[in-house]
Structure 1
Amino acid sequence: MKNDIPVYDISTFEEYKNAGILVSRFGHYSKQYLHLHSAHRHSFYHMVCFTKGSGSQTIDFKNYPVLPGMIYFMTPGQVHSWAFESEVEGYIINFSENYFKSFLYNPLYLENFSFFDEHSGDAVLVLPELTMEKVVSLFEEILHEGKEARPFDADLVRLLMLNIFIQVSRGLSLKQQPQTNSYNQTLLKSFKRLIETNFIELRFPKQYAALLYITPNHLNALCNDLLGISAGQLIRDRVILEAKRLLINMELSIAEISDKLAFSDPSYFIKFFKKHVGSTPDKFRKQDK
């Protein structure tokens, strides 16, 4: 079996101390792990705050500038690459999926932060100046805690990280209208979780509606109201994203990718991809080289 896109686990990094977390100044990290500049996946959460430098980065095939005062968040499985135009400085934290689960009563607590939802559009943010000052101070405290072993240092690092999440979320919430229906938001999150674990096998809204104990019409109305797209479109978008992630691995044939995505035959996969992306899988692959 040929390999997919390179997937890097947090335990492959030298600074990893079997605690599920890596914290570093970004300049050092970027120079030490040059292979991370090309397209790769993470099996962990990833957070970077830039304080200096310029360039661009790609997250799941969307391009973003690199700017001082910018922070971005990634969840496990996303595809990422960098292209810097000048020396870049800042902070980086990688942490495992289980890092907070033994610490927080609610194992889904991180879902309260929209920037950990890859569909929200909040994963790449330019922070207000005051928020940036607070966040930089918190990063410095985290780095200080990692210099030597002290009682409860791991717990304090978790608290400082949660403080970063809250500070960023508060700054973000000032620009957004408050959500009025928490039930609908919870239902949408449940739908997205189901898509993430079942999009290979389940392709129709009615299948997910049955798992959520609601009608297909209810599910579709929910997605249209909160996201402006249909439930079917959300499912298709996830299938297309996975297809793109697989296509950048030149070792996989179109037929193998079609099989991985459970299409009945490669020709149907090609038609599906061209209809929704606007180019054939082969053309997309060549353009992304």
Structure 2
Amino acid sequence: MIKEFSYKKFGNLEFSKTSIQNDSLTTINEHIKVLFIPQNAIIQVDFQEIEMKTDTLLFINPHVILKPCETVGGQLMHFNRDFYCVEIHDQEVACDGILYNNVFEIPFINLNEEQSVEIQKIISDIQSELKDEDSGTEEMLRTLLKLIILKSTRIWKQQHQLSDKEQQADVQFLRKFSKLVEQHYKTLHTVADYADLLCVTPKNLSKKIGLVSKDTPNEIIKNRIILESKRLLAHTTMNVKEIAYSLNYEDDAYFVRFFTKHVGISPTSFRKQF
């Protein structure tokens, strides 16, 4: 099901091994997504296969590669930025909030039984609204979507012990770092680069990132570069030299060594796997 309101688009798909075909996900590759995944399901997110220990929500930016390996009963909501992500939306629960700008981890929200029932009720309400032709449908869908994002942001903060008011500055700092890495990983490759942008020392940056991540800032930056390298190798026809240049590596031999060190196989071997 999908609704279009002028340039605004919002839709819902069943996400399961039997119902999702590659082309159905390709058509919404540019959309922002919220995915409900039931317990014990196995999905692949950007080449990483993950089994769900609980019912789970996953918040997905455009171009992330999804695959339902062993999934039954999942629900995928997708929308474009015209539908939800305009300046009037509160920053923390908009598309530039911590759930959608999170380079520290794949942003899963593990749900307990009560939370899962609540989220599934909202998804059911969304599906009902998609069947209606009412003047208030667009705003109701946006409200229900925001409700899922808001509730999930609260759960994420609680799970990361960042829900106290005095810790809001830390949350905003982490969100800003994530956003900067996403914007500049192709051209800025060092911790010092991001420390300068954030007006802190590299040591202080590492301390703040340690609040939510086991990885250091340097590892986070390198992991984002590697992820983009994998996406380009698996889903484009660019050669290794072109990929290296697009990521600001003028020496493609250095890029090959860098990729091989972090992935364990060469870029050419990785491409052959996909």
CA distance in 2, matches of 1:41, 1:15: 11
Contact between 1:48 and 1:93, CA under 8 Å: does it hold in 2? yes
Letter paired with 1:42:
N
Letter paired with 1:274:
T
1:23 aligned residue (11, 18, 23): 11
Mean Cα displacement is larger for which, 231-240 or 60-69?
60-69
Contact between 1:75 and 1:118, CA under 8 Å: does it hold in 2? no
Offset of residue 75 of structure 1: 1.3
Contact between 2:34 and 2:57, CA under 8 Å: does it hold in 1? yes
TM, length-normalised to structure 2: 0.82
1:45 aligned residue (5, 8, 32): 32
The 5 Å alignment of 1:147-158 reads 147-158=131-142
Contact between 1:40 and 1:79, CA under 8 Å: does it hold in 2? no
Residue 21 of structure 2 aligns with which residue?
A: 34
Is 1:275 matched up with 2:261?
A: yes
Change (3 A) 1:257 1:106: same
1:259 aligned residue (245, 251, 259): 245
The 5 Å alignment of 1:126-137 reads 126-137=110-121
Contact between 1:127 and 1:168, CA under 8 Å: does it hold in 2? no
For structure 2, the residue ranges without an aligned partner over 5 or more in a row are none
Offset of residue 203 of structure 1: 1.3
Change (3 A) 1:157 1:80: same
Change (3 A) 1:271 1:40: farther
Secondary structure of 2:66 counterpart:
strand
Q: Cα RMSD (Å) of the superposition?
A: 3.3
Residue-pair matches, total:
271
Mean Cα displacement is larger for which, 166-175 or 194-203?
166-175
Change (3 A) 1:206 1:157: same
Change (3 A) 1:208 1:117: closer
Change (3 A) 1:259 1:61: same
Offset of residue 175 of structure 1: 4.0
Secondary structure of 1:146 counterpart:
helix
Secondary structure of 2:131 counterpart:
coil
2:128 aligned residue (132, 144, 148): 144
Is 1:97 matched up with 2:81?
A: yes
TM, length-normalised to structure 1: 0.78
Q: After superposition, what is the alpha-carbon deviation per residue over 1:186-221, rounded to whole angstroms, capped at 9, x for unaligned?
A: 222212211111111111222222222223332233
CA distance in 1, matches of 2:235, 2:256: 17
CA distance in 2, matches of 1:274, 1:120: 22
Change (3 A) 1:44 1:221: same
Q: After superposition, what is the alpha-carbon deviation per residue over 1:21-66, rounded to whole angstroms, capped at 9, x for unaligned?
A: 33335169974x62247889822211222469x7532112211236
Letter paired with 2:36:
C
CA distance in 2, matches of 1:199, 1:41: 24
Offset of residue 242 of structure 1: 0.7
Residue 8 of structure 1 aligns with which residue?
A: none
CA distance in 1, matches of 2:212, 2:239: 37
Secondary structure of 2:145 counterpart:
helix
Mean Cα displacement is larger for which, 117-126 or 187-196?
117-126
Q: After superposition, what is the alpha-carbon deviation per residue over 1:58-79, rounded to whole angstroms, capped at 9, x for unaligned?
A: 1122112368834322112322
Mean Cα displacement is larger for which, 206-215 or 33-42?
33-42
